[in-house]
């Protein structure tokens, strides 16, 4: 199992240019409050905006501007916090704004579309995006749309195309947005990402470069181009751009985190740890970053510090299966097998299909806690599988259970994909070494752990396990 974490991806919400324009008429007793709510949202104080608009709606339940403002704040807040319910409430508010305004203000559709797009991503349901796409198409046919409004709806439709796996269509919408509003910052940043997702890396890089020419002092632009470089395997170029972003904004913790990840990927865990610590000093409650710093510390042999980080990460995000799995690995490497088994089981309960890769580790942890009979019974069904239906996880389990030999395990590796084969070789030698340890043959175990390290597959837990078995860092 690979233990490297994905890059942070930045996204943009409802364009500020589309914010509601609260009425200033003297006959509106709530005009000043609406202005305050709008300002609070633009400053990122969503809780304040929600509180103010909720007070207005208690007194005037049909105020469509208040509904719009609260919809925008709830969707933005929900996205920032990963709170699906808040986004759903924002979408419901947007519907009310549309209803009470008698569908007169097209901008009221923006929080609805943005909310539905985020629900599609967070709940992995394309149906949300498909519904939003239908609505966006209808709004874009309105002849009364001003160029700025049309630009915003093309941008939102482009964002909707992304969870539908239609990056080329997204790129077309972002391009149209820029034609209508050349300085539309969100579209300028989204366009190169769409090109990259479509596999058009040359146009993606050219587009990033154009954005930097237009916005040379924007740390976000450099951060995003750096993420693109990193995905292309150009780590030094990525680090240079992350560093430029940090130079422009020393408290831009996203770029600091991403640079830390680049250093981690580049084999510099000590430098990565320093960056991740800096990011956490700016924003302490980041379970993702805590888990990554735990990884950096683990790579340096700092097992106790790694465990401390990973325990806190799990406390902050207890429903994250990957964080439980990572904590399980660290317990395993520290030879606390009961604790490892607990975390592996929690990870598997949270994501059964995704965490099937943990099965060999679960089996081994059970054996190391004197539960061999129970482990054999748990995975007995694997032995009935025909050889041509087994995957690499099945073969590792069969080997650990004694159903196939070392040679058969290594011969089962598919050599067609070189990188995949290297990963399977790394894992095979690790588990061969573990089985030798169980048999009391430490010399053979060490030889196999070294063979695992020789694959240089540093992103795998098996590689890390071999490091700890040999105390090589």
Q: What is the 3-state secondary structure (H, E, C) of 175-232?
A: HHHHHHCCCCHHHHHHHHHHHHHCCCHHHHHHHHHHHHHHCCCCHHHHHHHHHHHHHC
Per residue in 170-182, pLDDT tens? 999 999 999 999 9
Range name among 8-17, 33-42, 212-221, 446-455 with the lowest pLDDT average? 8-17
pLDDT value of residue 20: 46
Which is nearest to 115 in space by CA: 158, 171, 77, 155?
Answer: 77
The answer to whether residue 23 scores a pLDDT higher than 70 is: no
The arithmetic mean of pLDDT across residues 113-133, rounded, is 95
Per residue in 190-201, pLDDT tens? 999 999 999 999
Chain centroid, CA 309 distance in Å: 19
Q: Are 15 and 186 in contact (CB under 8 A)?
A: yes
The arithmetic mean of pLDDT across residues 62-84, rounded, is 94
CA distance 446 to 63: 72
CA distance 295 to 417: 27
Task: Spell out the domain ranges in the chain.
Answer: 379-470
The answer to whether residue 14 scores a pLDDT higher than 70 is: no
Residue 189, C-beta contacts closer than 8 angstroms, at least 6 positions apart: 12, 211, 220, 221, 224
Q: Does the global pTM surpass 0.75?
A: yes
pLDDT value of residue 27: 75
Give percent above pLDDT 70 in the chain. Answer: 95
The arithmetic mean of pLDDT across residues 65-82, rounded, is 94
Question: Mean pLDDT for the chain?
Answer: 93
pLDDT value of residue 24: 47
CA distance 468 to 292: 18
The answer to whether residue 7 scores a pLDDT higher than 50 is: no
The arithmetic mean of pLDDT across residues 87-91, rounded, is 97
Per residue in 353-403, pLDDT tens? 999 999 999 999 999 999 999 999 999 999 999 998 999 999 999 999 999
Q: Are 470 and 453 in contact (CB under 8 A)?
A: yes
Q: CA 236 → CA 245, 248, 255, 266, 336, distances in Å?
A: 14, 18, 14, 9, 38
The answer to whether residue 11 scores a pLDDT higher than 60 is: no
């Amino acid at each position: 199992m690979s233990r490297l974490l994905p890059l942070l991806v930045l996204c943009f919400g409802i364009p500020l240019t589309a914010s509601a324009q609260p009425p200033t008429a003297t006959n509106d007793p709530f005009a000043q409050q609406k202005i305050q709510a709008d300002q609070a949202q633009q400053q990122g104080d969503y809780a304040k905006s929600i509180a103010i608009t909720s007070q207005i709606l208690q007194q005037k339940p049909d105020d469509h501007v208040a509904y719009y403002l609260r919809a925008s704040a709830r969707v933005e807040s929900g996205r920032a916090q990963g709170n699906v319910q808040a986004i759903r409430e924002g979408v419901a508010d947007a519907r009310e704004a549309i209803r009470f305004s008698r569908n007169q203000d097209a901008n009221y559709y923006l929080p609805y579309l943005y909310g539905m797009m985020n629900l599609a991503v967070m709940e992995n349901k394309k149906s949300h995006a498909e519904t939003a796409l239908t609505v966006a198409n209808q709004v874009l046919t309105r002849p009364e749309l001003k160029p700025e409004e049309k630009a915003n709806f093309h941008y939102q439709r482009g964002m909707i195309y992304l969870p539908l796996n239609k990056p080329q269509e997204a790129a077309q919408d972002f391009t149209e947005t820029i034609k209508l509003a050349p300085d539309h910052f969100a579209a300028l940043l989204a366009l190169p990402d769409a090109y990259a997702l479509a596999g058009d890396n040359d146009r993606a890089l050219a587009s990033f470069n154009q954005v930097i020419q237009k916005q040379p002092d924007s740390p976000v632009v450099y951060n995003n181009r750096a993420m693109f470089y990193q995905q292309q395997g150009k780590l030094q170029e990525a680090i240079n751009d992350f560093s430029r972003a940090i130079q422009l904004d020393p408290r831009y913790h996203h770029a600091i985190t991403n640079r830390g990840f680049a250093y981690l990927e580049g084999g510099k865990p000590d430098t990565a740890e320093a960056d991740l610590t800096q990011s956490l000093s700016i924003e302490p409650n980041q379970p993702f970053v805590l888990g990554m710093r735990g990884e950096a510390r683990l790579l340096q042999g700092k097992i106790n510090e790694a465990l401390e980080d990973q325990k806190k990460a799990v406390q902050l995000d207890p429903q994250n299966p990957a964080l439980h799995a990572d904590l399980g690995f660290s317990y395993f490497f520290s030879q606390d097998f009961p604790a490892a088994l607990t975390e592996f089981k929690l990870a598997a309960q949270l994501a059964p299909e995704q965490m099937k890769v943990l099965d060999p580790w679960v089996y081994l942890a059970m054996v190391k806690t004197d539960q061999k009979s129970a482990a054999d019974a748990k995975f007995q069904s694997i032995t009935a599988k025909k050889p041509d239906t087994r995957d690499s996880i099945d073969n590792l389990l069969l080997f650990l259970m004694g159903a196939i030999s070392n040679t058969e395990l290594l011969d089962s590796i598919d050599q067609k994909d070189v990188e995949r084969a290297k990963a399977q070789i790394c894992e095979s030698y690790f588990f061969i070494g573990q089985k030798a340890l169980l048999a009391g043959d430490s010399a053979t175990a060490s030889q196999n752990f070294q063979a695992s390290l020789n694959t240089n597959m540093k992103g795998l837990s098996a590689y890390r396990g071999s490091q700890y078995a040999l105390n090589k860092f």
